[in-house]
Structures are given as structure tokens and as C-alpha cells.
Amino acid sequence: MIPFVDLKEQYISIKDEIDTAVLKVLESTQYVLGEDVTNLEVEFAEYCDAEYGIAVNTGTSALHLALLAAGIGVGDEVITVPFTFIATVAAISYTGASPVFVDIDPVSYTIDVTQIEKAITERTKAIIPVHLYGQPADMEPILEIARRYGLVVIEDAAQAHRAEYQGQRVGSIGDLGCFSFYPGKNLGAYGEGGIVVTNNPEYASTIQMLRDWGQASRYHHILRGYNYRMDSIQGAILRVKLRYLDAWTEARRSHAARYDQLLADSKVLTPTVMPYSHHVYHIYAIRTSKRERLQQILSQQRIQTGIHYPVPVHLQPAYADLGYQRGDFPQAEAAAQEVLSLPMFAELTQSYKCRLQWLSLQQSAIKRRKKLT
């Protein structure tokens, strides 16, 4: 079978380094935050061309604290898209603010920048563009609108480590950038993890306090904070893996180019890379009106696929109280009906070849056994 994602192959390829790093943490008895987490913060911020990095326990916490640091709370409105993973919207509601949706552009699947202004009210405080599938949102017009209305821009870069917009790494383009290190993300921990990057020292120190019970120093609580600290083991693992991220990203991009080639003459729509973007293909989503049938055929060929995402957030029962209805965001709704994600991970071709080799070995072994009996 060709799996949708295979995390095993990657672990095997760096097993010695990972095992050594993990054992070192176990022996250090420093299990939460600590040196590896601090070093990860410095290294990952630098990787994003940002001044500060603040590691947290999940990507969702990263978004939550970025919003809080920007002063967002009850009575405020935050603009984002309905075609995203639920966490983007959940983080907004954690603060007490109201999510306000803007439809997506049907080509890039990111926020339709021409529709942002009409969603702005006197209560609007921030915009969260989502770099969906690993392709940056169109940041220049977003920043221009934000400047004009005095809004904070928080990038949801959970799917876009190392992606670039007009040559600039995502995360450091807006006021704050949030990443997830969930195992299946382009840079994944062996557990949960996330980080906020920013160039603003005040945001950085607020988030640093908020993730650790609002403490300025031990047992001196300046703010009402959270237990959103990163585990030392995840910090150590992520530091090892960060060194491979360039190579893994290139592998994803070459698999995507191969898919593009193979599907060029087919009826399915392949992803469009926008002229401003360096796409990192967290997800390679094709588009077809015959999705169910295609998914079935692929499944019969033992090729796993996924759907990201089948129900846009404005139609989720959990957010029914926002008052949106079917038809409110036609592009998000259409995409939700038609997108299909093909297998995508750095080791894709290697593991496929391994499996083929393994199958042919098995077959020849069976033949040999038959001859013997």
C-alpha cells in the first residue's frame, strides 16, 4: 500500500541522532523547556528570518497566545477563512473574540484578498491568513489593508514551514507567525509542539510569560497565563529534524513536480503555484467533481488519500452559533466538495520503491518455495 503519510521511514533515516538526543534529555532530568527548547527557539526564529521564537505545546496554543499578545479578547472580531483546519477558528474563540469569515480564492485556496475590506467593522482587530497546504496567502494586499485599518496580522503557518512569499520566509511577514509541530506537519515532533515567531519584543515577552503561567519570575504571576510549555524531548527532536527540513522540503517539491507531470493530461485539476509563492506542499490536493469515484479507484489500487477539509468551518455544528449558512462562502463550499489529497511525504518514492522491492522478493521467495515442494 502507498500510505498517505509514512513517518517510519524518516525516523529510521535519522534514528541514531534522534535516539542520542532523546537519551541525553532523559539523563539531564530537565524535561520541560530547558536548553534544547531555548536553542530550538533561536534556531527556528533564524530559519524564519524572525528575531524571536517562543516554543509552546501545540500550534493551536501558538495561535491562542499570538492573539492574546496582540490584545484580542471579548467583543473583538478576527477575520479568517472557513476553509482551514478547525484550530485556526478555535484559537480565536478561546480568546472570547468572534471569528468573521472571508471566502477563499478558488485557485490558491487561500483568503480572497478582494473580499477582506467588506468584512471589516469597528470591532475588527486582526486578520489570520492561513497558508493552506503549504502555499502562502497573498500577503502584500493583506498587509496593506491591515496597515490602513490598524489591524494585526497573524500568519497561520502551521502547514507552511519554510514556504516563501516573494522570497520572504513565512512567519516573519505579518506581525506574528504561528507554526505547528504536530507529527504529520512538514516539521513534526514525536508528540505535540508549536511555536510563535515575531520581530516584536513586547509580543515575544508577553507570549513567553503566558505560556508559563504568566510568570515574570518563579511564582510571580504578572498575567493570567497557561501551561503551554514545550517538552524538552520535543525540543531536542525538533532541533535534529530542523537540519533536514531544507532537504525534505525539496523532496516534497520534486514529488509534486512529478505528480504535476503525470497528471498534466488528465481531467483532474492539479495545484496552482501562485507567482509570488514558494510552495512547500504540506498537502498535494487535486480537484475533481468525481472525487468519490476517484478515491474509490485509488483505494482499490491500494493508494491512500485524504480530504482536507470535507466540511468548511462555517458549516460545522460546533460553530453554528456564528449564524452562517450554506451558500455564504461558495468557493470554500465547492472546494470542500472537490479536493482530494494524494500521498505526500519526503520519503514517498523511497518507501514506494522499498515496498515494490519487498514484494518482488516475497514473490520470488514463494516461487522458490514452490519449486522445492
Ligand X SMILES: *Cc1c(COP(=O)(O)O)cnc(C)c1O
Q: Which residues bind ligand X (CB under 6 A)?
A: 58-60, 84-85, 87-88, 130, 156, 158-159, 180, 182, 192, 194
- 273 close to 311: Cβ distance less than 8 angstroms: no
When computed from its CA atoms, the radius of gyration of the chain, rounded to whole angstroms, is 22
Nearer to ligand X, 230 or 256 (CB): 230
369: cell is 518455495
Instruction: Give min distance, CB of 262 to ligand X, in A.
Output: 26
Q: What is the dihedral of CA 244, 245, 246, 248, to 10 degrees?
A: 90
Report the SS3 class of residue 50.
coil
Nearer to ligand X, 160 or 327 (CB): 160
Nearer to ligand X, 192 or 212 (CB): 192
Nearer to ligand X, 221 or 229 (CB): 229
Nearer to ligand X, 80 or 124 (CB): 80
Instruction: Give min distance, CB of 75 to ligand X, in A.
Output: 24
Pairing status of strand 277-278 against strand 220-221? unpaired
- 249 close to 200: Cβ distance less than 8 angstroms: no
Distance CA 112, CA 283 (A): 20
- 104 close to 330: Cβ distance less than 8 angstroms: no
Pairing status of strand 152-156 against strand 124-127? parallel
The residue nearest ligand X at its CB is 59
Instruction: Give min distance, CB of 122 to ligand X, in A.
Output: 27
Instruction: Give min distance, CB of 155 to ligand X, in A.
Output: 10
Nearer to ligand X, 86 or 145 (CB): 86
Among residues 165, 73, 204, the alpha carbon closest in space to that of 126 is found at 73
Question: Which stretch of DSSP H or E encloses residue 96?
Answer: none
Instruction: Give min distance, CB of 65 to ligand X, in A.
Output: 12
Instruction: Give min distance, CB of 279 to ligand X, in A.
Output: 15
- 330 close to 103: Cβ distance less than 8 angstroms: yes
Nearer to ligand X, 156 or 347 (CB): 156
Nearer to ligand X, 88 or 234 (CB): 88
Nearer to ligand X, 56 or 286 (CB): 56
Report the SS3 class of residue 103.
coil
Note the Cα 240 to chain centre separation in Å. Answer: 19
Instruction: Give min distance, CB of 366 to ligand X, in A.
Output: 43
Instruction: Give min distance, CB of 159 to ligand X, in A.
Output: 5
Instruction: Give min distance, CB of 58 to ligand X, in A.
Output: 4
Instruction: Give min distance, CB of 302 to ligand X, in A.
Output: 26
Which residues, including other chains, have CB under 8 Å from residue 129's CB and lie 6 or more apart?
A: 80, 81, 110, 111, 137, 139, 142, 153, 155, 156, 174
Nearer to ligand X, 125 or 161 (CB): 161
Which residues, including other chains, have CB under 8 Å from residue 233's CB and lie 6 or more apart?
A: 22, 25, 26, 31, 190, 191
Which residues, including other chains, have CB under 8 Å from residue 258's CB and lie 6 or more apart?
A: none
Residue 116 sits at φ, ψ, to 5 deg, of: -70, -50
Q: In what order do the strands lie in the sheet with 52-56?
A: 52-56, 194-198, 176-180, 152-156, 124-127, 77-80, 98-101
